Structure 1
Amino acid sequence: MANTEGEKPLRKIAEAFKDLAAVVNSETLELEVGPFSHACSLISPLFGCLGIAFKFAELDYVAKVGDLAEASKSIATLQALVDRDVESNCVRNAGSHTRNLLRVKRGIDMVRVLFEQIIASEGNSLKDPASTAYAQVFAPHHGWAIRKAVAAGMYALPTKAQLLKKLNEDGKCMKPQHGLRWKTI
């Protein structure tokens, strides 16, 4: 991810998900696939900032978000997307929109847990926060070989300072807020 002067990807992510939360909390509208896939696409570069340990996650996540973006051309809401797959009895099939939605959700969870762990940790290393996030979110769904490859890749993670620099942030954006797990704007 290029360090573009003035660009704040964490803030863009926060704004996009804040808008989605407003729709979900309104209880008047269903969540549209298009805005959801757009918000999710903003997360993709975060995996790239983590290096080789999360390269597989980045590739998988980008492909799944791309599928949801393509689906948004013919399916309006996430509920309609799931309903269509349920009716077609393909929810568990590889490549189904619902299965791709599950994988995207796991990617979002990974980033959430990672940043919670970064905020809670002392020091400059991302190894423990990333290892904890991986163990909680992805490891239960991966076989032994993938888990070992990821563990080896943890030694190639950037430092916290390097990650913040790649994200064009100074660290103030990651201070805990009242009632919030982290602040991104």
Structure 2
Amino acid sequence: MADNHKPLRKISEAFKELEATVNSQTPDDLEVASFSRACSLISPLFGCLGIAFKFGEMDYVAKVNDLVEASKSVGTLQAMVERDVAANTVKKGGSHTRNLLLVKRGVDMVKVLFEQILVTDGNSLKNPATKAYAQVFAAHHGWAIKKAVAAGMYLLPTKAQLLQKLNEDEPSARIQMQSYITASAPVILYIDKLFLSRGLGVDW
């Protein structure tokens, strides 16, 4: 079957390319265009998780689209952050840098979700999804969103249903999930360093 119908494979391959850039001799050259393209491949995954991650899907897609737009006028993530720093708009709602931070959280949440799926037996995604949400997003959300997410956790698809939506069997899905976990880790670290090296912090 064509790779077009294998979203997990496309995600892991796109992040492998980003990982290669980040691990290269000139890691400052992570392009906004290639980063936002890789992140846009994750969007359907939020949709597959149903109502619990509706906040993530809507918010994430909008932020990724903003970075896609930004890529038309700025080359690298570093240059994009520098531009916002110079304009003193880093922490302003809707700034490209703020959106980058929120997109990075989405990338991180999927990484934790995959890690938890790989170590959790059984067909339920409730524990993996709850842990991923708690680890990455919970601290940044108000009571209303947390309540909606908690309710939505009872409506998650089963692991089998998720794999069916992603057109994967379990052995190949495990390989692709592990590949994404490995490839996304240095990319997440790179973005954290981008913020921390400028004294911006990552908890806002």
TM-score (norm 1): 0.92
Does the residue aligned with 1:117 lie in a helix, a strand or coil?
Answer: helix
Which residue number corresponds to residue 152 of structure 2?
153
1:12 corresponds to 2:16: no
Which residue number corresponds to residue 178 of structure 2?
182
Whether the 8 Å contact between 1:114 and 1:130 is mirrored in structure 2 is: yes
Does the residue aligned with 1:182 lie in a helix, a strand or coil?
Answer: helix
Which residue number corresponds to residue 80 of structure 1?
79
**How much does 1:27 deviate?**
2.3
Structure 1 Cα separation of the partners of residues 24 and 4 of structure 2: 32
**How much does 1:5 deviate?**
8.9
Which residue number corresponds to residue 165 of structure 2?
166
After superposition, residues 81-96 of structure 1 pair within 5 angstroms as 81-96=80-95
Structure 2 Cα separation of the partners of residues 104 and 6 of structure 1: 23
- Structure 2's unaligned 5+ residue stretches are 181-204
Does the residue aligned with 2:163 lie in a helix, a strand or coil?
Answer: helix
What is the CA deviation profile of residues 121-168 of structure 1, one whole-angstrom value per residue up to 9, with x for unaligned ones? 010000010000000011000011211110001000000000000000
After superposition, residues 26-37 of structure 1 pair within 5 angstroms as 26-28=24-26, 30-37=29-36
Q: What code does the residue aligned with 1:9 have? A: P
Does the residue aligned with 2:26 lie in a helix, a strand or coil?
Answer: coil
Which residue number corresponds to residue 61 of structure 1?
60
Structure 2 Cα separation of the partners of residues 10 and 32 of structure 1: 22
Which residue number corresponds to residue 200 of structure 2?
none
Which residue number corresponds to residue 44 of structure 1?
43
Change (3 A) 1:176 1:69: closer
Which residue number corresponds to residue 101 of structure 1?
100
**How much does 1:7 deviate?**
1.3
Q: What code does the residue aligned with 2:56 have? A: A
Q: What code does the residue aligned with 1:43 have? A: I
Change (3 A) 1:33 1:183: closer
**How much does 1:174 deviate?**
4.0
Structure 2 Cα separation of the partners of residues 90 and 131 of structure 1: 33
Give the RMSD, CA atoms, in angstroms.
Answer: 1.8
What is the CA deviation profile of residues 102-133 of structure 1, one whole-angstrom value per residue up to 9, with x for unaligned ones? 00000001100001001110100000100000
Structure 1 Cα separation of the partners of residues 103 and 84 of structure 2: 16
Q: Aligned pair count?
A: 178
TM-score (norm 2): 0.83
- Structure 1's unaligned 5+ residue stretches are none
Percent identity, aligned pairs only, is 71
**How much does 1:176 deviate?**
6.6
1:124 corresponds to 2:142: no
Q: What code does the residue aligned with 2:95 have? A: S
